[in-house]
Amino acid sequence: MEIKFERFHLQADLRSPLKEFATISVPTEVRIDPLTKRRSRIVTWGLPSQGKFDFTQMAEESKGCFFCPENVFLKTPQFINEIAPEGRIRRGRAVGFPNLNPMGTYGSVVVLCPDHFLNLNQFTQEIYEEGLSVSVDIIRRTVAIDPDTRYWHISQNFLSPGGSTILHPHLQVIGDPIPTNEMEWLIDASSSYHERNKTVYWNDLAQIERGIEKRYIKSIGGVHWFVSFAPIGFNEVCGTVEGHGSATNLRKREISSLSRGIVSTLKYYHDKNLNSFNFTIYSISGETSYQLLIRIISRTPIQPYYLNDWTSFEALQSELTSDIVPEELCSEIRPYFD
Ligand SMILES: [Zn+2]
């Protein structure tokens, strides 16, 4: 195994107005991701939280949207007959249909629940089990008629900081015959690692992180949950599904574990006064060295005088500046997975 956790310690010296202009040193750590070699910058200070935002007015003003129960079966698109002759794919509360504004070959929306708005502590494991089951069903049915569509992502953008135009909780299921940038980087790095070591990076990483204990959260139903050594998003929590590269073969057990991990992470975000997030499940078929990965990140919460979390560091230097040390995040979030 050749997994290295490399880091640079940086330090800034200054005379602080908060300490009567005495000289202080402020440390920063730059970490290099063991697989992709991408850098993250971990800062030791963070802006104070402004408390929880009250969504009552926002939810009231926008309810009755296309995804609300009175409209979802009347005003949303239907699948072509080859994919779903019944038009829309349903499981429990979840309803899946094609996106009216797709961004690729196959783009679907899965409305998670009849509720127009949910706070992060109101999402349940069952809501995600139903939503992910519909997502997997969409992928299976599409791949059955178009096997060249090997690259899929199941994602959630929640609230406007996460890039969502609609408040109503929903997933995006997107498939193409070509990978996204991130997928290509994951495939290339996983396959080079496999060539050099004859092992799967994701299994090796889970084994090492489990031994180190500082960033490994828990194993649930075939999914290893951990905090990234060098995150690419804020409060990043990851899971890797043993024995699967693609979502097409996910069973009830893995879907339940993914749902439980998502809900546990959202409850933690809620307690930290965060309210917006993104997650993506990267589903890639036909790559033996790749193992299904989910990444969940928080976004700057909606609050008065909103502050975007992408500075020139993230947008133009491709370097995340995280304000929580990954090992601290792991110890804080671990109890939420119990
Ligand atoms: Zn709605």
Q: Angle, nearest 10°, between helix axes 326-333 and 252-271?
A: 110
- Residue 275 CA, ligand 1 centroid: distance in Å: 18
Residue 108 binned pLDDT confidence (cut-offs 50, 70, 90): very high
Rounded to the nearest integer, the mean pLDDT of the chain is 96
Residue 47 has pLDDT above 80, yes or no: no
Please tell me the least confidently modeled range out of 44-53, 94-103, 139-148, 271-280: 44-53
Residue type, 299: R
- 97-to-93, 134, 176, 320 alpha-carbon distances in Å: 13, 10, 17, 34
Residue 131 has pLDDT above 70, yes or no: yes
In this prediction, residue 294 carries a pLDDT of 98
Give mean pLDDT, residues 161-187.
Answer: 97
Cβ-based neighbours of 74, under 8 Å, separated by 6 or more: none
- Residue 322 CA, ligand 1 centroid: distance in Å: 33
- Residue 55 CA, ligand 1 centroid: distance in Å: 14
pLDDT 10s digits, 259-285: 999 999 999 999 999 999 999 999 999
Q: How many CB atoms lie within 10 A of CB 193?
A: 22
Give mean pLDDT, residues 90-105.
Answer: 96
- Residue 71 CA, ligand 1 centroid: distance in Å: 9
- Residue 171 CA, ligand 1 centroid: distance in Å: 13
pLDDT 10s digits, 62-91: 999 999 999 999 999 999 999 999 999 999
- Residue 226 CA, ligand 1 centroid: distance in Å: 33
In this prediction, residue 145 carries a pLDDT of 97
DSSP class per residue in 63-131? -S-TTSHHHHTTSS----TTT-TTSSEEETTEEEEE-SS-SSSEEEEEE--S-S---GGG--HHHHHHH
- Residue 63 CA, ligand 1 centroid: distance in Å: 5
Give mean pLDDT, residues 230-239.
Answer: 96
226 near 206, Cβ under 8 Å?
yes
228 near 3, Cβ under 8 Å?
no
Give mean pLDDT, residues 301-305.
Answer: 88
Rounded Cα distance, 336 and 338, in Å: 6
- Residue 26 CA, ligand 1 centroid: distance in Å: 46
Residue 1 has pLDDT above 70, yes or no: no
In this prediction, residue 293 carries a pLDDT of 98
In this prediction, residue 44 carries a pLDDT of 82
- Residue 61 CA, ligand 1 centroid: distance in Å: 10
In this prediction, residue 309 carries a pLDDT of 87
In this prediction, residue 79 carries a pLDDT of 98
Two tokens, residue 264: 């546990």
- Residue 52 CA, ligand 1 centroid: distance in Å: 22
pLDDT 10s digits, 308-328: 888 999 999 999 999 899 999
In this prediction, residue 333 carries a pLDDT of 98
